[in-house]
Amino acid sequence: MIKLRESRMSEIPVYQNYINGEFQPHSASYIEVTNPANGELLSRVPNADTSEVEAAITAAKKAQKAWAAKPAIERAQYLHKIADKLRQNAEHLAAVITKEQGKVLSLATVEVNFTADYLDYMAGWARRIEGEIITSDRPGENIFMFRKPLGVVAGILPWNFPFFLIARKMAPALITGNTIVIKPSEETPNNCFEFTRLLDEVDLPAGVFNVVCGTGYGVGQALTSNSQIDMISFTGSVATGSAIMAAAAPNVTKLNLELGGKAPAIVLEDADLDLAVNAIKASRVINTGQVCNCAERIYVHTAVADKFIEKLSSAMAATRYGDPMKQSDLEMGPLINQASLDKVISMVSKAKSEGAQVITGGKVADIGPGFHYEPTVLAGCHSDMEIMQKEIFGPVLPVQVVASLEEAVELANASEYGLTSSVYTRDLRQAMRAIDLLDYGETYINRENFEAMQGFHAGTRKSGIGGADGKHGLYEYTRTHVAYVQN
Ligand code: NAD
């Protein structure tokens, strides 16, 4: 839970905003950050005011032209140096992430190393950013299309993969010549400040990378409604994405929105059931089900439904969970906060009242402090239940039985979300047919998340606008400029 406090400077770390290449003194109110596994107070972070947001945007604007004028390969060197620092400090960074976010240490370590690899990967585009020369209708004319930076990017982050999301926004922004102002989630800002401490050691030019911490309605609104911001790159919920669109509208600011998901997992009659169970279970307990592209609902063919539900329930029931800083062999930690726990409790309770049967789990875990919920399987679900339509973001798997691939796809597509989907089958023709029919930005065959950094992570419908990763994600951070040159 976030509490705003004026005083109590103490033994716990107090972080500062990073503006124009320096950690800046902050005198307004602070936000207290706590450990979701046990309620321990971890840090105090600035709840910045509008003047701090404006100072960061001004610094980013001032730095942008000189940064863009550097050869891309020089900009790349900074990203490589930051990546090296992250790897050298992986153990410390993983512990910071785990303490404030609640994911298990092994996953936090993967997140840190993947973030370093992502910086290196995006830096690798330095010599590959290309424009085009287009054939003209006029004799003696050349048409050139240049790719240019947009200017200042606002990067607004969620709490579920807070560390990786810094890189997913800043790496493509910086390599293409933009500067950035990052707003971490107020739930998980510590890792962003630790990232910034390391970044500060590589002597990045002042103003290229800035961090301003605060609430969504404070710092978030001030950033997204500011006319000096040239692009808003946001990852988070549909409701916030929608509010950001409204805030950006008066300035017609470019948007890149990575929003929620309700990923359907379709298990067909010829699926390898053990493979399907292992993959779906892993995707649902990883990060305690708080992943935009983890299996959120299952459609299983009637011919294998009983066997599948039995195997899935055993696997979910066997999940090792608890406080990830106390036990090293866990698969799952707590949910992020009380509100998330309340949401899961309410959704399961509603599903039960609508006829779902709890096969395993179905209640708050009785393991002491923290926001722990039991790994849960619900059978007898049907498409008009809230639990089959709304994002749960917790370790709960609702299952609906279907008669065919076509029925499963129809139900899967009848969703306001369109981020990711998965299909389990041994028949390549069925897999290709499913890919053809599924209206989703991503489909996994015989596996679940994660996506590749060289792919393109993008959703349809309310799951977002634009996408991230790979060449297409990189070019989201550029604009075109066409020049007609008559000889
Ligand atoms: P959230 O929308 O509550 O908050 C995300 C960020 O937006 C936070 O930094 C918050 O302070 C800020 N914010 C809140 N209100 C704002 C406003 N009015 N203006 C500007 N900023 C504002 O989301 P969350 O709870 O942190 O993250 C969980 C959500 O993120 C889930 O829905 C999940 O599916 C989604 N997500 C999507 C992807 C993807 O790639 N599509 C990846 C990770 C998470």
Closest C-alpha to ligand 1, atom 22: 216
Q: Which of 111, 191, 225, 235 to mutate to test the pocket of ligand 1 (most atoms within 8 A of CB)?
A: 235
Dihedral sign (CA 164, 165, 168, 173)? negative
Tokens of 209: 């990378």
pLDDT score at 197? 98
> For residue 368, what pLDDT is reported?
81
Q: Is the dihedral of CA 392, 393, 399, 402 positive or negative?
A: positive
Q: What is the pLDDT of residue 387?
A: 98
21 pLDDT exceeds 50?
Answer: yes
Q: Cβ(390)–Cβ(262) under 8 Å?
A: yes
Pick the catalytic residue: 192, 213, 292, 294? 292
Annotation marks residue 381 as catalytic: no
Q: Is the pLDDT of residue 3 over 80?
A: no
The strand pair at 231-235 and 254-258 is best described as parallel
SS (H, E, C) the chain: CCCEECCCCCCCCECCCEECCEECCCCCCEEEEECCCCCCEEEEEECCCHHHHHHHHHHHHHHHHHHHHCCHHHHHHHHHHHHHHHHHCHHHHHHHHHHHHCCCHHHHHHHHHHHHHHHHHHHHHHHCCCCEEECCCCCCEEEEEEEEECCEEEEECCCCCHHHHHHHHHHHHHHCCCEEEEECCCCCCHHHHHHHHHHHCCCCCCCCEEECCCCHHHHHHHHHCCCCCCEEEEECCHHHHHHHHHHHHHHCCEEEEECCCCCEEEECCCCCHHHHHHHHHHHHHHHHHCCCCCCCEEEEECCCHHHHHHHHHHHHHCCCECCCCCCCCCCECCCCCHHHHHHHHHHHHHHHHCCCEEEECCCECCCCCCCCECCEEEECCCCCCHHHCCCCCCCEEEEEEECCHHHHHHHHHCCCEECEEEEECCCHHHHHHHHHHCCCCEEEECCCCCCCCCCCEECEECCEECEECHHHHHHCCEEEEEEEEEC
- The answer on pLDDT for 426 being more than 70 is yes
Residue for token pair 């297409």: 472
Strand order in the sheet with 420-424: 357-360, 376-379, 396-402, 297-301, 264-267, 420-424, 442-445
Distances (CA, A) of 44 to 33, 34, 213, 334, 435: 6, 9, 11, 21, 47
Is 263-452 the same fold as 5-259+464-486? no
Closest ligand 1 atom to Cα of 236: 30
Return the best residue to mutate from 185, 341, 461 for the ligand 1 pocket (most ligand atoms within 8 A of CB).
185
Residue 104 neighbours by CB under 8 Å, 6+ apart: 98, 324, 330, 331, 332, 333
Q: Which CATH number fits domain 263-452: 3.30.2010.10, 1.10.10.10, 3.40.309.10, 3.40.50.720?
A: 3.40.309.10
- Gap between the terminal Cα atoms of the chain: 65
pLDDT tops 90 at residue 440: yes
Give me the chain's average pLDDT, please: 96
Nearest-CA residue for ligand 1 atom 6 is: 158
Task: Give the mean pLDDT of 337-366.
Answer: 98
Identify the residue whose C-alpha is closest to ligand 1 atom 8: 185
Task: Give the binding-site residues of ligand 1, using a 6 Å CB cut-off.
Answer: 156-161, 183, 185-186, 215-217, 220-221, 224, 235-237, 240, 243-244, 258-261, 292, 391, 419, 457, 464
Hey, what are 28's tokens? Answer: 């307004």
Asked whether the predicted pLDDT for residue 151 surpasses 70, the reply is: yes
More confident of the two residues 202 and 26:
202
Please identify, in words, the CATH class of the domain defined by 5-259+464-486.
Answer: alpha beta
* Catalytically annotated residue among 258, 331, 451, 476: 258
Range 414-431 average pLDDT: 98
Residue 190 backbone class (left: φ over 0; alpha: ψ -120 to 50; beta: rest): alpha
* Res 382 pLDDT > 50: yes
pLDDT value, residue 423: 98
pLDDT at residue 47 greater than cutoff 80: yes
Q: Residue 20 burial (CB < 10 Å; 0-12/13-18/19+)?
A: middle
| Residue with CA nearest ligand 1 atom 28 | 236
Residue of 378, 204, 395 lying closest to 283 (CA atoms)? 395
Instruction: Give the tens place of pLDDT for each residue, 203-214.
Output: 999 999 999 999
Distance 130 CA to ligand 1 centre (A): 32
| Active site (annotated) includes residue 386 | no
Q: What is the mean pLDDT of residues 226-250?
A: 98
Rounded distance between C-alpha atoms, residue 332 and residue 294, angstroms: 14
158 Cα: distance to centroid of ligand 1 (angstroms): 4
Tokens of 145: 């299309």
- pLDDT above 90: residue 372: yes
Residue whose CB lies within 8 A of the most ligand 1 atoms, among 183, 229, 292, for a mutation test = 292
Whole-Å CA distances, 73 to 64, 78, 119, 235: 16, 9, 13, 28
Name the phi and psi angles at 400, rounded to 5: -120, 135
Domain parsing of the chain, residue ranges: 5-259+464-486, 263-452
Mean pLDDT of 472-481: 98
pLDDT in the model for residue 28: 79
Q: How many CB atoms lie within 10 A of CB 3?
A: 10
Q: Are 150 and 478 in contact (CB under 8 A)?
A: yes
- For the segment 288-307, what is each residue's pLDDT rounded down to a tens digit? 999 999 999 999 999 999 99
For residue 10, the model assigns a pLDDT of: 54
Q: Rounded mean pLDDT of 68-74?
A: 98
